[in-house]
Amino acid sequence: MFDPVIAPSGTLLGLLQRGRGDGTLHALAAPRDEALAALNHCVLNDPRHDWQVENRSLYYARLYLDLHGGLEAIERHVCDPDDHLDTDENRTGLALAVLGHLAAYGRADALALLRRYAATGSNWAWALDELALRDDDSGLRSLARPVLDRFPDTPEGEAELAATVRDAFEPRPWRLWAEDPRPSVGARVRAAQEAGSFDRWQRQLRPSGPRPGWSVQAVFDWADQGLERGTPLHVPAARCLSAVAGSEDRDAIVTVAREGSDGARCAALHYLAQISDPVVLDLVERAVDTGSPVVAEAAVSAFERMCGDEAVARARGWVHRSDALGVSAAGVLACRGGAGDDRLVLGALRETVRIQGPDAPPLWTLVDGAGRLGIGCAAPVLRHVYRETTSSHLRGRAARALAATDTSFATGFAVECLWDCEETTREVAALHAETGDVRVAERLRRLAADPAEEAEVQTAVRSRIGPDRPV
Burial 56-88 (b: 16+ CB within 10 A, else e): bbbbbbbbbeebebebebbbebbeeeebeeeee
In a domain? residue 305: no
Please state the φ and ψ torsions of residue 20, each to the nearest 5 degrees. Answer: -75, 150
In a domain? residue 136: yes
In a domain? residue 175: yes
pLDDT digits (tens, 9 = 90+) for 217-275: 999 999 999 999 988 888 999 999 988 888 899 999 999 999 999 999 999 999 999 99
In a domain? residue 255: no
- Of 86, 163, 56, 176, the closest CA to residue 128 belongs to 176
In a domain? residue 403: no
Contact 364, 394 (CB under 8 A): yes
pLDDT (0 to 100) of residue 349 = 97
pLDDT (0 to 100) of residue 468 = 52
Q: How many angstroms separate the Cα of 361 from the Cα of each of 9, 347, 348, 422?
A: 19, 16, 13, 18
| Predicted structure pTM score | 0.89
Contact 93, 51 (CB under 8 A): yes
In a domain? residue 431: no
Length of the chain: 471
Domain of residue 37: give its range. Answer: 12-205
Interhelix angle 280-290/293-304, rounded to 10 degrees, is 150
What's the number of domains the chain is made of? 1
Over the chain (471 residues), the average pLDDT of each successive run of 10 is: 80 96 96 97 94 93 96 95 87 96 96 96 94 94 94 90 89 92 88 71 50 78 91 90 89 93 94 92 94 94 91 94 94 93 96 96 96 95 96 96 95 95 96 90 93 94 71 48
pLDDT digits (tens, 9 = 90+) for 142-171: 999 999 999 998 989 988 998 899 888 899
pLDDT (0 to 100) of residue 205 = 46
Residues 6+ positions from 8 with CB-CB distance below 8 Å: 14
In a domain? residue 399: no
pLDDT (0 to 100) of residue 86 = 85
In a domain? residue 417: no
pLDDT (0 to 100) of residue 201 = 44
- Of 40, 61, 44, 18, the closest CA to residue 453 belongs to 61
| Residue ranges in 89-143 assigned as alpha helix (H) | 93-104, 108-120, 124-134, 137-141
pLDDT (0 to 100) of residue 168 = 87
pLDDT (0 to 100) of residue 192 = 87
How far, in Å, CA of 142 to CA of 415, rounded? 45
Element counts in the chain: helices (H) and strands (E)? 29, 0
